Amino acid sequence: MGSSETSFLARNDFLIRRLHSLSGLVPVGAFMCVHLLVNASVLESPAVFQKNVYQIHSLGSLLPVVEWAFIFLPILFHAIVGVVIVAGGIPNTGNYPYSANTRYTLQRITGMIAFVFIAIHVFHMHGWFHADVWLENVVHPLGGGKFRPYNAASTAGLALQSTVMVAVYLVGILACVYHLANGIWTMGITWGVWVSPHAQARASKVCAVFGLLLAVVGIGGLYGMQQQGTGEKLNEARQAEDTMYQHKLESGELAPNEHKRAEQPVSNPQDESTAEP
């Protein structure tokens, strides 16, 4: 059984590797860029971030389908194939001789960190699955499912008041960014876009600049989000969210949905420690 599985992977090595590299760019990498940019919009204002979240949730019942088809399943495919490659299930002839050993190793390490981080992030903010029994008996007791789409900035900010969680997000974001930026460089070699040493050196610089810029966006969004969960900014964010929610109810753009709303409004900074997101 094991030998037949290895033989199947070996026979389809070319196709698997290209699907793996392609999935890392589209849709996984593209989604990550959009996700970090949307999160960074909170730096402009909580209202702008809330508007972006409303646009995403305007998909309604199609949203779970889109999430699974274009985000979760591609991430799982990319991660599983990556683990198989690292474990040696797919032959890795030459160990990418054109790549420095350090970059090759970091690409594998950051891939593992990124996958674990994504699992933590989705559980922490969304709880993985939306079934009430699961959320009430597993997710919420374990401190997950903090995010409420109709109170986007305030609930995300409250969820990031733990120093430990902020550290987890910082490491996770940087790992994801490095894995994507370096992965684009590797993908260009895999697909024959840059083959000569000169082209590879030039592409390496472009990917490094892209990675640095994306890291700034990611860290900026994390900082801006964390700030919305404390002090007067928390009250301002909640007030803006409540105003937008009421306007959308009155215009008929939204139907009341308390599952997507925070359980309690925060009336003053002293309530922060007891408010539930």
Question: What CA–CA distance (Å, rounded) separates 245 from 224?
Answer: 22
Mean pLDDT value across the chain: 88
Question: What CA–CA distance (Å, rounded) separates 92 from 80?
Answer: 16
The pLDDT of residue 94: 47
The pLDDT of residue 4: 53
Q: Do residues 263 and 276 lie in contact, with contact meaning Cβ atoms separated by under 8 Å?
A: yes
Mean pLDDT of 47-66: 94
DSSP 65-97: HHHIIIIIHHHHHHHHHHHHHHHTSS--GGG-T
The pTM of the full predicted model, rounded to 2 decimals, is 0.87
The pLDDT of residue 101: 76
pLDDT band for 271, please (50, 70, 90 cuts): very low
Question: What CA–CA distance (Å, rounded) separates 256 from 42?
Answer: 24
On the question of pLDDT at 164 being above 70, the answer is yes
Mean pLDDT of 49-66: 94
Q: Which residues, at least 6 apart from 49, have a Cβ–Cβ distance to it below 8 Å?
A: 38, 39, 41, 42, 152, 153
Mean pLDDT of 254-269: 73
The pLDDT of residue 7: 60
Q: What is the largest CA-CA distance in the chain?
A: 64
pLDDT tens digits along 83-129 = 888 777 555 544 454 456 788 889 999 999 999 999 999 999 999 99
On the question of pLDDT at 70 being above 70, the answer is yes
The pLDDT of residue 274: 39
With residue 115 as reference, give the H or E element that holds it.
helix 101-125
Least confident interval from 40-54, 80-94, 165-179, 196-210: 80-94
pLDDT band for 222, please (50, 70, 90 cuts): very high
Four-point Cα dihedral 269, 273, 275, 277, nearest 10: 110
Cα-trace Rg, the chain: 21
Least confident interval from 26-30, 121-125, 137-141, 268-272: 268-272
The pLDDT of residue 270: 42
The pLDDT of residue 260: 92
CATH ID of 2-271, from 3.30.1370.100, 1.10.3720.10, 3.40.50.720, 1.20.1300.10? 1.20.1300.10
Q: Do residues 249 and 256 lie in contact, with contact meaning Cβ atoms separated by under 8 Å?
A: yes
The pLDDT of residue 100: 65
With residue 251 as reference, give the H or E element that holds it.
helix 231-251
Mean pLDDT of 15-43: 94
Question: What CA–CA distance (Å, rounded) separates 21 from 14?
Answer: 11
Four-point Cα dihedral 80, 86, 92, 94, nearest 10: 150
Q: Do residues 21 and 190 lie in contact, with contact meaning Cβ atoms separated by under 8 Å?
A: yes
